[in-house]
Structure 1
Amino acid sequence: MSHPDNTPGLDDLDRLAICDIAALPPDMLLTLQEAALTETARIKRLRDRLEAGIAQRYGAASEAERAAQGKTSGTVRIEDAGVVVIADLPKKVTWDQERLAAMAARIAASGDDPNQYLEIAWRVPERRFTAWPEAMREGFASARSETTGKPVFRLETRDR
């Protein structure tokens, strides 16, 4: 839907070519981006409310079904007036890193290979890496790779 002054609105973006959108004046791009962010927040709020209502309606029944199946997590199916409700309660497992390191040391000390039991992942926080002395960074440089993600552009007025 175009606005009264004939400027495009969010609903017009589907019919515009990307090059036409790119050619819009910066203030119009800013207005459209702010409108899209506002609409995204509104839709997220509505979806969160809908999901909360669904959880309230089917939470107890799905927990009862899970208990009947002897499960503490996972997926169960319940039916309500011909609608199948698939309720998933994902399992989240976390491991105490210090205890795992101690276990790996014990396994290695007994002559066994910890890699047969554990997956060990090493990481260097980027802030720490950039704070190291040059000689230290050079030693680690061959083990480091860098990629980029999708570019994000945020538009603001000059007075913000």
Structure 2
Amino acid sequence: MSLSLEQAQAMSIGELAGVTAAELMRVQAEAATYLRNAKELKDWIDGAIAMKYEPKVRELRTQLGKDTGIINFDDEGVRVTSDLPKKPVWDQSQLSEIAQRIAASGDNPAEFLDITYKVAERKYTAWPENLRTVFEPARTLKTGKPTFRLSLSQEQ
């Protein structure tokens, strides 16, 4: 008997963990296909909605003088809400120069800027030991959620 996605969803995680590896692999692949298809369908429908309402939203933005933010209007009893959020992008090198000028004038740059320091893990692991030792007290290693991929073993 082949386990369906509906049957798998109705099972407890413990029960599902008790099925064969081959069945887990099959329903995992089927669920991934289902998710991919659902996302593609949602993107397709979202594209149709954008095509239908973008001209009206553009017209309303012009009338209201709103380049960004939320626009609401009704279409046949359905409230249509379009949100065009602001996403400012700051030039990091220019901000660094500004922070240096603020510090040089005697003020604290942290009063004006959110300052974040990052070290790429790939760079860190490539550094010589003496350099890593300097940075090590500032480094905390956290882990993400574990993932598992099931595939057929290669027969030798």
TM-score in terms of structure 1 length? 0.92
Separation in structure 2 between the aligned mates of residue 80 and residue 22 of structure 1, nearest angstrom: 48
Separation in structure 1 between the aligned mates of residue 28 and residue 9 of structure 2, nearest angstrom: 14
SS in 1 for 2:87: coil
Partner of 1:71: 66
SS in 1 for 2:9: coil
Gaps of 5+ in 2: none
1:102-160 Cα offsets, whole Å, 9 max, x none, are 11111222222212211110000000111111121121111111211221111111239
State the Cα RMSD in Å. 1.4
Partner of 1:17: 12
Partner of 1:129: 124
Partner of 1:36: 31
Separation in structure 2 between the aligned mates of residue 128 and residue 14 of structure 1, nearest angstrom: 43
1:46-75 Cα offsets, whole Å, 9 max, x none, are 000000000001111112212222111111
Amino acid at match of 2:64: Q
1:61–1:78 contact (8 Å) kept in structure 2:
no
Partner of 2:82: 87
Instruction: Report the count of equivalent residues.
Output: 155
Separation in structure 1 between the aligned mates of residue 143 and residue 59 of structure 2, nearest angstrom: 46
Amino acid at match of 1:28: E
Q: Report sequence identity in percent.
A: 39
Partner of 1:102: 97
- Give the number of the structure whose residues are more often helix, by fraction: 2
Separation in structure 2 between the aligned mates of residue 113 and residue 134 of structure 1, nearest angstrom: 33
Partner of 1:61: 56
Amino acid at match of 1:47: K
TM-score in terms of structure 2 length? 0.94
Amino acid at match of 1:26: A
